Structure 1
Amino acid sequence: MTIAPPPADELIVAGRRVRCRIAGDGPPVVLLHGIGRTLDDFAAQHALLARDHRVVSVDLPGHGGSAPLDVPHTLPALATAVAQVLDTAGITGPVHLVGNSLGGAVAMRLAADDPARAASLVLVNSAGFGREVTVALRLLALRPLGRLLLRPYPAVARRTEQAIFHDPAYVTEERIATALAVARQPHATRVMLELVRSLGTWRGVRPQWRRELLAAVAALDLPTLVVWGDRDQILPAGHLANARTRLPKARGHLFRDTGHMPQIERAAAFHALVTEFWARPPAG
């Protein structure tokens, strides 16, 4: 039996179904999740930010309830798809881009490809700042092992959730059920393998796209906040130091006793941090 992700809104973008949530009024904010995840990772922040922002949470192509693309799923393709969602939603001006993990790299790619769309970047335990990544993702780059590892087993889904959160209280049956529902989508394995193999190898994250992307983002001189959880088992907290080196004008923040998703484990503090960052006048 196929179980769908939790209900949300839906847009038709370039003939393709996109699962999303849009709420609130004020400066626009876009929330982008990580690889193999869904917009539900930003549910708490969506509700908090919608009090005084126009908030768009979106399932990336081929994730959750969003249909896959007709082209290979790569970082530039995902960024283009997000831009199309914004156009369809009638949001054409600059937006605050907030991305977790892969979503952070998508946010950076979108800002680099179309700077007029970006008011700021909030990069949450973001991909792009180092080679190191959990062995579970590196093994997916090996053929044919990747397909075997992506079979939707409950035990695997539970271990994945346990790796994401430092506090085991966040490893709920609801989150495990959502992860299984996402993994059981007929296109899920293909999308994951296309992304993993375009971004990395069994040795880790490829350096070529990281160097090019970070150089492009640094040249934008865009207000940027980089945050991390110090107990991240997916992308190590040492990447925050790399971010400060590659983006020297960016502001950084480390959450203590926090895993890969500070926006969930430290929801109130995260909300206060990003809204204060947006309210601060630009440097210089």
Structure 2
Amino acid sequence: MRWRTTLVAGRSAHYGVGGDGPPVLFLHGWGIADRAFGKALEALTAAGLRVYAPALPGFGGTAELPRTEHSLHGYARWVAAFVAGLELTEPVTLVGYSFGGGVAIRTAHDSPELVRRLILVNSIGGSAWTDGRGALKALAERPLWDWGLHLQVDLLPTRQATRVLPVVLRDLVPNVLRAPGAIWRVAHLARTADLTSELAELNRRRLPVVVVWSKQDNVIPEATLRSLRTSLGDPRTVTVPGGHTWLLAQPARFGEVITNILTFAEDPPGAA
């Protein structure tokens, strides 16, 4: 991956690019930006893909969105402008992780001409959450402290902590220092996101969508996953071991999962 700077809507933006082959656009999650996923992205370039990985507005040195644009719709418009600047000749495979999955859903909904297929990795977008008593509630009712508690559980007590935690902190701390307001505004967007109507529309359009989810995810609960899948009409789902940050802990596995999905998608009907 090579790291570059460009302008999107007249504002500075950082992004990574590498590899040759069909274009893949990767959108990162909350708090950590493009460079933190370097090893995972290089696993894709090694598999013969052309990977673009922008730091979303407010992260990784990319300028924040104007206040009037601070919504998932605004982030999707920014992604569309970024893709337009690449001057690609074909639609992309759009891979969205966590908060980036919500942006990817909205981008595919708002700019269908840009997206060939959608891969959602431990993505926000579902509307449901189960509280500590097992009661099913709207995701917007999930308190911020509960998100933070489960993220801590996801990171700390596992064997992967020595690999993942330094990467998270190395990226998260500078992001907090550069743009603390953006960090909290994006956290609010992620916490309250309900994209069920957009997901249902993507299903109606028959956009190819694959959902990837890790079995020990403590951040995006299973109830949220079920809500997301229901809105999509029960799409193909790939489950992997690990927590929410599994692709940082297992970058080679991430590359294998994504390339297997794309190989399956390109197989002609009846292929083995």
Question: Is the CA contact 1:112–1:220 (under 8 Å) kept in the aligned structure 2?
Answer: no
Identify unmatched segments of 5+ residues in structure 2: 131-138
Question: Is the CA contact 1:125–1:260 (under 8 Å) kept in the aligned structure 2?
Answer: yes
1:222 equivalent in alignment to 2:207: yes
Paired residue secondary structure (2:96): strand
Cα deviation per residue 1:5-45 (whole Å; 9 max; x = unaligned)? xx931111221111101112211000101122211343123
Cα deviation per residue 1:218-249 (whole Å; 9 max; x = unaligned)? 12211111111111121113433333322235
Match of 1:66 in 2: 62
1:189 equivalent in alignment to 2:180: yes
Structure-2 separation of matches of 1:164 and 1:179: 19
| Displacement after TM superposition at 1:160 (Å) | 8.5
Match of 2:86 in 1: 89
Structure-1 separation of matches of 2:218 and 2:63: 29
Match of 1:11 in 2: 6
Match of 2:134 in 1: none
Aligned identity (percent) is: 29
RMSD: 3.1
1:167 equivalent in alignment to 2:160: yes
1:80 equivalent in alignment to 2:77: yes
Change (3 A) 1:259 1:27: same
Question: Is the CA contact 2:196–2:228 (under 8 Å) kept in the aligned structure 1?
Answer: no
| Displacement after TM superposition at 1:139 (Å) | 2.9
Return the letter of the residue paired with 1:229: S
| Displacement after TM superposition at 1:85 (Å) | 1.0
Q: Please identify, of 89-98 and 260-269, the stretch whose mean Cα deviation from structure 2 is larger.
A: 260-269
Match of 1:272 in 2: 256
Structure-2 separation of matches of 1:33 and 1:198: 15
| Displacement after TM superposition at 1:93 (Å) | 2.5
Structure-1 separation of matches of 2:35 and 2:5: 14
Structure-2 separation of matches of 1:213 and 1:163: 34
Structure-1 separation of matches of 2:172 and 2:127: 26
Return the letter of the residue paired with 1:192: I
| Displacement after TM superposition at 1:198 (Å) | 4.4
Match of 2:144 in 1: 139
1:35 equivalent in alignment to 2:30: yes
Q: Please identify, of 231-240 and 27-36, the stretch whose mean Cα deviation from structure 2 is larger.
A: 231-240
TM-score, normalising length from structure 2?
0.81
Change (3 A) 1:270 1:29: same
Following superposition of structure 1 onto structure 2, how do residues 79-118 of structure 1 map, counting pairs within 5 Å? 79-118=76-115
Cα deviation per residue 1:153-186 (whole Å; 9 max; x = unaligned)? xxx9x9588269773232343531321111100x
Change (3 A) 1:102 1:175: closer
Paired residue secondary structure (2:129): coil
TM-score, normalising length from structure 1?
0.78
Change (3 A) 1:119 1:32: same
Question: Is the CA contact 2:217–2:244 (under 8 Å) kept in the aligned structure 1?
Answer: yes
Change (3 A) 1:165 1:16: farther
Cα deviation per residue 1:248-283 (whole Å; 9 max; x = unaligned)? 352101212x11123223322322222122122479
Change (3 A) 1:97 1:48: same
Question: Is the CA contact 1:128–1:210 (under 8 Å) kept in the aligned structure 2?
Answer: yes
Cα deviation per residue 1:87-143 (whole Å; 9 max; x = unaligned)? 1122253100001111011111111111111111110110012333999x8338xxx
Structure-1 separation of matches of 2:210 and 2:4: 29
Identify unmatched segments of 5+ residues in structure 1: 1-6, 141-148, 150-155
Structure-2 separation of matches of 1:89 and 1:164: 41
Match of 2:119 in 1: 122
Question: Is the CA contact 2:27–2:53 (under 8 Å) kept in the aligned structure 1?
Answer: yes
Return the letter of the residue paired with 2:5: E
